[in-house]
Amino acid sequence: MQRTLSDNGRVLLKRLNPPPVRVSDIYHGLLVAPMWLVIVLFFVVYVAMNAVFAGAYLACGPGAIEGATPGSFADAFYFSIQTMTTIGYGRLLPATPAANLVVGLEVFTGLIGFALATGIMFAKFSRPSARVMFSRVMTWSSFMPGEPVLALRIANERRTQIAEAQARLMLLWNETMVDGGTLRRFHELKLTRSLTPVFALSWTVMHVVDEQSPLFGLDIDDLKERGTEFLVTLSGTDQAFMAPVHMRWGYEPDDIVVGARFADIFVNDDAGVRVLDFGRFHDTIPLPQEGG
């Protein structure tokens, strides 16, 4: 089974009986995997390959490695490390045709392996990526004149700007078909503003829950009953790399705070300079209930 996740680790989709993995899929998986996991994987493969070649040297028979203790796996392993990395300190040397053949094969394997590892590491470091902060919760309230508003907040964590940033808010829930079956459907929620020429600081993404909204007339319990999820995506062009970037985040009904709005995050310091306070980014403020 495979799982498709949003950037906050929330499961968006589960796949059963996926197709077989291809070599290109492995490369793509390494590119999107966390850096620590790639480093650990490379280290494990590195140790395993040297252990395999150490066994090959031992299989060549006594005296295959000049200067090594006969039958010593440790000496064969360290000789393999020196050969694969082309260090060659000079104390351990191949002494038989079979050992020289294994050395040639290991050097070739090392060249290919280090080239692939270098390419993957460079691609991970050079791949453009946005650092965008998404609010932990959404708010649902009537803080604007008219209908209720479903809102979330995003902020650019980097000093570089994202040009032509576009936000989309998708609604995922279960719908009952005519024959009684259940269908998982996507609905794109209309935003009050879905595009900004330059995304540099903060952006409150809002959807008005009017009569044209799929959410009209529903409450949190209705959303839970339908297995509702919200997926917000942000795309644009990173001005530092001049390359497209894309991020996404997921929410569930339990993440919605009803009857509240987000706290103000822009304040003025003692010098009168406008400051973005990330410490209040996730905070919400309760609103007075109508008629209360």
Higher-confidence residue: 211 or 277? 211
Q: What is the pLDDT of residue 76?
A: 93
> What are the residue ranges spanned by the domains of the chain?
16-126, 132-286
pLDDT in tens, 117-126: 998 888 887 7
- pTM comes to 0.67
Q: What integer is the mean pLDDT of 122-150?
A: 81
Give the architecture (CATH level 2) of 132-286: Sandwich (2.60)
Matching fold, domains 16-126 and 132-286: no
Q: What is the pLDDT of residue 9?
A: 55
Secondary structure string (H, E, C) spanning 36-103? HHHHHHHHHHHHHHHHHHHHHHHHCCCCCEECCCCCCHHHHHHHHHHHHCCCCCCCCEECCHHHHHHH
pLDDT averaged over every residue in the chain: 84
Q: What is the pLDDT of residue 14?
A: 64
16-126 folds as: Helix Hairpins (1.10.287)
